[in-house]
């Protein structure tokens, strides 16, 4: 069964637009996490950025208390965030690249260039009982480097696939890259997640990618929730995932 991790960052984005710097505000990411789980989500994903643009420290600590499925903390390999993760003990972390000027995470982690540092963080997390995923482009060198770090998972960056979905030739090329990367990762003993830019239109074609364990989807679900409510948006996404056979 293909699992769904719902990224609730943009629930916090909406809250921060009105209540930044305040102890309380709406919409509440904690309430959103509860509703997503009740609707059938298999996990909750949040990105604690160094600039705290959406998710705040108090959010992750409250989420650790209430999440009953699987808490996935996306994070940069930055000393402050690493120490928070080691104290927080999410079920899994996903190391991602992070640039202050970007709107959302752009591109995959360059594991080849930072293999030693990533391997050390991986070791510290695993020693604390936390699984590790690396958010990478579907590139064979990055997949191989991810395996060498000892990470348990990779999360394939589906942004290029999503961006070129309306161009048949480019869509096929990007799907082929994802298929080959997933097969390579599986052969190397890595579990495979995927995410970035996935929505209700482009998700079905992604079923061609083998060995997927979990999809992490946020913006599309939060956007759909404006019209149908969060629980219904989650259920609609889960329905599109039911036919995946891996």
Active site residues: 47, 74, 196
Closest CA to 2 of 39, 37, 40: 40
**b/e string for 119-152 if b means 16 or more Cβ within 10 A?**
bebbeebeeeebbbbbbbbbbeebbebbbebebb
- Cα–Cα distance for residue pair 92/32, rounded to 1 Å: 20
Backbone angles phi, psi at 45, to 5 degrees: -115, 135
3-state secondary structure of 199: coil
Closest CA to 6 of 43, 35, 31: 43
Burial, 225: exposed, middle or buried (Cβ in 10 Å; 0-12, 13-18, 19+)?
buried
3-state secondary structure of 23: coil
Closest CA to 146 of 203, 184, 199, 99: 184
- Strand duo 92-95 + 131-136: pairing: parallel
Which residues are bridge partners to 134 per DSSP? Answer: 95, 154
């Amino acid at each position: 069964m293909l699992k769904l991790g719902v990224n609730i960052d943009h629930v916090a984005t909406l809250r921060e637009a009105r209540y930044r710097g305040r102890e309380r505000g709406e919409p509440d990411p904690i309430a959103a996490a509860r509703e997503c789980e009740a609707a059938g989500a298999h996990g909750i994903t949040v990105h604690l950025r160094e600039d705290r643009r959406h998710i705040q420290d108090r959010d992750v600590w409250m989420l650790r208390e209430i999440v009953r499925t699987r808490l996935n903390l996306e994070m940069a390999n930055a000393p402050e965030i690493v120490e928070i993760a080691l104290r927080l003990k999410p079920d899994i972390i996903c190391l991602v690249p992070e640039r202050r000027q970007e709107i959302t995470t752009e591109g995959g982690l360059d594991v080849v260039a930072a293999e030693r540092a990533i391997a050390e963080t991986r070791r510290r997390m695993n020693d604390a009982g936390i699984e590790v995923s690396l958010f990478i482009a579907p590139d064979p060198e990055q997949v191989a480097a991810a395996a060498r770090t000892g990470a348990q998972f990779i999360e394939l960056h589906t942004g290029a696939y999503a961006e070129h979905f309306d161009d048949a030739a480019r869509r096929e090329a990007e799907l082929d890259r994802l298929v080959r990367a997933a097969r390579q990762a599986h052969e190397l003993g890595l579990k495979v997640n995927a995410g970035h830019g996935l929505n209700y239109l482009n998700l079905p074609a992604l079923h061609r990618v083998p060995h997927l364990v979990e999809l992490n989807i946020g913006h599309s679900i939060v956007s759909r929730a404006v019209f149908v409510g969060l629980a219904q948006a989650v259920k609609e996404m889960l329905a599109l995932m039911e036919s995946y056979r891996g």
